[in-house]
Amino acid sequence: MGKKITFRFVTLLSLVVLLLSACSNVNEESTLPKADAEESKTEEVNTDIIPAHEGLNQEPIPLEIERDGKDVYVKMTTQITDIEIEPGLTYKAWTFNGEAPGPLIVVEEGDMLHFEIDNIDPAIPHSIDLHAVHTDPETGFGDVEPNESGVFSYPTSSPGVFMYHCATEPVLSHIANGMHGVIIVQPKDGSPTDDEIDREYVIIQNEWYKYNDLDDMTNGVPSQVVFSSKALREGQPNTNGTTTALKDEPLKAKVGEKVRVYINNVGPNEVSSFHVIGTIMEDVYLDGNPYNHYEGMQTVMLPASGGAVVEFTFKEPGTYPFVTHQFNHATKGAVGVFEVTE
């Protein structure tokens, strides 16, 4: 009984620390005169908007993906779409398909990928760099000019949870403005724990900076560090990277189920220390590759672009927060919740 009480106290204490930190941030902001606070927020949203993007908010165009045997045809759209990254704060994001992070892509080891990039951004060339493939970057990740399309093909040879992003210069601006996402390459022979899994989710961590401010992206610190979820199957949450996405819409699980999470830190700059409060990761596959198998981990460190598959079981019903254990980033929004029931 003593151990259970201590465990619950520690979990509760962690939640209290998060709440106090969040309240502290709110109180600090509230000390600003109202006009100054509004001016500051407006400035953060509107810094350095490209003239052709002024007033532009392109409706998200759904990802198109079709399979023909081992050939997978993917049509992506690069576009400018407004995204609310925290309540009341809209970011004019540079995106893949109107999402930031971009849409989830799931293929199998050994597939041949055929990507068509349709760039409807009227002002800037864009491209795609897939960390999941081998190719000459100059030709395989080439720029697509505004209002043009490009087609690129590559085979997949390694399983994993990989980042993709725009590779057009300056790369940091394109990634930090929203052009990032995840491609999962499933292992052709599966993973050792496949038969044990009851639920699967995809979680992505990313950062937001002052809008289109390359100096802040290079030398500053992120204004928001956030989680999102991308749907692996119908009915699952599919969100943008916001400070509230996975608190407002908790991920569901039941007591005794083994949960698998595909996670990637798309950065662009910071490290993630992914941790689920109240449980231990029984199995971890670094970069999502079955050969990189670890057991019994409390926290998984993910460099910028790093991925993993993590698996764990909830022993009791309750609300289980997950965070990056870089707690300065947790207080900036990188907190989500698993809601566990009997």
Q: How far apart are CA 37 and CA 25, in angstroms?
A: 13
Sheet holding 251-254, edge to edge: 251-254, 335-341, 318-324, 272-276, 300-302
Kindly write down the DSSP assignment for every residue of 28-53, as one continuous string: HHHTS-HHHHHHHHHHHHHTT--GGG
**Are 108 and 140 in the same domain?**
yes
**Are 116 and 174 in the same domain?**
yes
What is the structure's pLDDT at 48?
78
Q: What does each C-alpha distance from 225 to 102, 201, 257 come to in angstroms?
A: 16, 19, 29
**Are 197 and 333 in the same domain?**
yes
Q: Which of 186, 203, 237 is the last residue of a domain?
A: 186
201 in Cβ contact with 229 (< 8 Å): yes
255 in Cβ contact with 97 (< 8 Å): no
* Amino acid letter for position 9: F
Burial of 68 (0-12, 13-18, 19+ CB in 10 A): exposed
Q: Which of 186, 205, 236 is the last residue of a domain?
A: 186
**Maximum Cα interatomic distance, the chain, rounded to a whole number of Å:** 66
**Are 166 and 61 in the same domain?**
yes
**Are 61 and 99 in the same domain?**
yes
222-236 burial by CB neighbour count: b if 16+ within 10 A, else e? bbbbbbbbbebeeeb
**Are 87 and 215 in the same domain?**
no
**Are 205 and 167 in the same domain?**
no
**Are 181 and 72 in the same domain?**
yes
**Are 237 and 335 in the same domain?**
yes
- CATH code, 96: 2.60.40.420
For residue 94, what are its two tokens?
């540079």
Q: What does each C-alpha distance from 24 to 5, 125, 219 come to in angstroms?
A: 28, 41, 25
Beta bridge pairs of residue 95 = 79
pTM of the model: 0.87
* DSSP conformation class of 19: H
Q: Which of 186, 211, 231 is the last residue of a domain?
A: 186
What is the structure's pLDDT at 26?
35
114 in Cβ contact with 153 (< 8 Å): yes
26-60 burial by CB neighbour count: b if 16+ within 10 A, else e? eeeeeeeeeeeeeeebeebbeeeeeeebeebebeb
Q: How far apart are CA 101 and CA 175, in angstroms?
A: 10
Q: How far apart are CA 132 and CA 159, in angstroms?
A: 8
What is the full per-residue pLDDT of the chain (342 aa) written as tens digits? 444 333 343 443 444 344 434 434 433 433 333 334 444 443 444 557 899 999 999 999 999 999 999 999 999 999 999 999 999 999 999 999 999 999 999 999 999 999 999 999 999 999 999 999 999 999 999 999 999 999 999 999 999 999 999 999 999 999 999 999 999 999 999 999 999 999 999 999 999 999 999 999 999 999 999 999 999 999 999 999 999 999 999 999 999 999 999 999 999 999 999 999 999 999 999 999 999 999 999 999 999 999 999 999 999 999 999 999 999 999 999 999 999 999
How many other β-carbons are positioned within 10 Å of the β-carbon of residue 24? 11
